[in-house]
Amino acid sequence: MSTAPSAPGQPIASTRPAAVSATGVGKVFASRKGADVTALEAVDLTIAPGEFVSLIGPSGCGKSTLLRLIADLDSPTSGSIEVFGKTARQARIDQAYGIAFQQAGLLPWRTVRSNIELPLELHKVGKADRAARSSELLALVGLSDFADKYPDQLSGGMQQRVAIARSLAESPGLLLMDEPFGALDEMTRERMQTELVRICAETGAAVVFVTHSIPEAVFLSNRVVVMSPRPGRIRDVIAVDLGRAEGRGEGLREADSFFEAVVAVRESLHGEPAGAPAARGVDQR
Ligand SMILES: Nc1ncnc2c1ncn2[C@@H]1O[C@H](COP(=O)(O)OP(=O)(O)OP(=O)(O)O)[C@@H](O)[C@H]1O
């Protein structure tokens, strides 16, 4: 995947509509007591089809709020959001994206297969097509042997893989993920990251990924969006070029390029001036 955005917050060049286009987005939560909370201010961000973008920033800086606005689970107070050239509302109606959050959110009384098939069932996809699609997805996330198990018979990492398979059921061009690996142990988390890179390469989905983990953001992303403390604004957009999915093995986590990108994101988060020596070799736009 190409990773050469043309300007801060701008996507890689493409003639297709952007996966996400946020322009001047602000969000104020009104309070009855008069102490309104400005969660987001003047957020401009364009994400290209197939691009993986992480949002990172201090607690309460508005990462989840931005994701919820893209998903049309809430509305911006100012500015606008488009998903594949449609309003966020229309994109939701058209099922233009899949969602995966920290809790896998599986239905305990349904098998793994029928959890994955749920969105298809809700959209009246026929039984045979559902079965074919869920078999494909089970293979994609490496759970073919667990199709008939129930969620409580799976580990946390396996449950997250089911949730990811479910979010991919309708072949969305965009995945919205809010700390999907936050509850996993470190080893499982790293394995899941490797799998997610592979799945994204195979499906071509763009991803907006909220995380608190700098290494996770760097390992997964084409660009890391660093947000400032509340009111959340985009402080920096750091392009990361760690190569194609096939090359992102475990060794990459010990490579200089990985380390340099981690340092660049860390320094940006801590508010150090762009262009600090440790950020050399990483695009700091
Ligand atoms: N429904 C709401 N009503 C009022 N305030 C809200 C609401 N949702 C979020 N906020 C406030 O907006 C700000 C941003 O919250 P948000 O959950 O987006 O932050 P975050 O960066 O995702 O935080 P964390 O990293 O801790 O999950 C916070 O101050 C939060 O208290």
71 burial type by CB count under 10 A (0-12 exposed, 13-18 middle, 19+ buried): buried
Strand order in the sheet with 37-47: 37-47, 20-29, 78-83, 86-87
The answer to whether 62 touches 235, Cβ cutoff 8 Å, is no
Is residue 193 helix, strand or coil?
helix
d(CA 270, CA 58): 10
- Last-in-domain residue among 115, 148, 171: 171
d(CA 160, CA 175): 14
> What total of structural domains would you count in the chain?
2
- Domain of 110 in residue numbering reads as 105-171
User: If you average pLDDT over residues 140-163, what whole number do you get?
Assistant: 92
User: If you average pLDDT over residues 49-71, what whole number do you get?
Assistant: 95
Reported as half-sphere exposure (CB side, CA atoms, 13 A), residue 4 has a value of 3
Indicate the pLDDT class of residue 2, thresholds 50, 70 and 90: very low
pTM: 0.86
Atom of ligand 1 nearest to the CA of 67: 18
Q: Are 54 and 149 members of one domain? A: no
Residue 178 C-alpha to ligand 1 middle, in angstroms? 13
What pLDDT digit, counting tens, does each position of 161-177 carry? Answer: 899 889 888 888 999 99
Q: Are 187 and 267 members of one domain? A: yes
Q: Are 178 and 231 members of one domain? A: yes
Atom of ligand 1 nearest to the CA of 210: 22
Residues with CB under 6 A from ligand 1: 29, 37, 39, 57, 59-65, 230
23 burial type by CB count under 10 A (0-12 exposed, 13-18 middle, 19+ buried): middle
Q: Are 72 and 179 members of one domain? A: yes
Q: Which residue's structure tokens are 């093995």?
A: 249
Residue 269 C-alpha to ligand 1 middle, in angstroms? 18
The answer to whether 258 touches 242, Cβ cutoff 8 Å, is yes
Q: Whose CA is nearest to atom 14 of ligand 1?
A: 62
Q: Whose CA is nearest to atom 2 of ligand 1?
A: 29
Q: What is the ipTM of this complex?
A: 0.98
Q: Which residue's structure tokens are 């996400």?
A: 20
Indicate the pLDDT class of residue 202, thresholds 50, 70 and 90: confident
What pLDDT digit, counting tens, does each position of 87-97 carry? Answer: 999 999 888 89
Residue 121 C-alpha to ligand 1 middle, in angstroms? 33
Residue 37 C-alpha to ligand 1 middle, in angstroms? 9
Residue 127 C-alpha to ligand 1 middle, in angstroms? 40
d(CA 226, CA 238): 8
Q: Are 115 and 92 members of one domain? A: no
Residue 233 C-alpha to ligand 1 middle, in angstroms? 13
Is residue 274 helix, strand or coil?
coil
Q: Are 17 and 32 members of one domain? A: yes
- Last-in-domain residue among 171, 197, 227: 171
Q: Are 27 and 91 members of one domain? A: yes
Q: Give the single-character DSSP code of 11.
A: P
Q: Whose CA is nearest to atom 17 of ligand 1?
A: 64
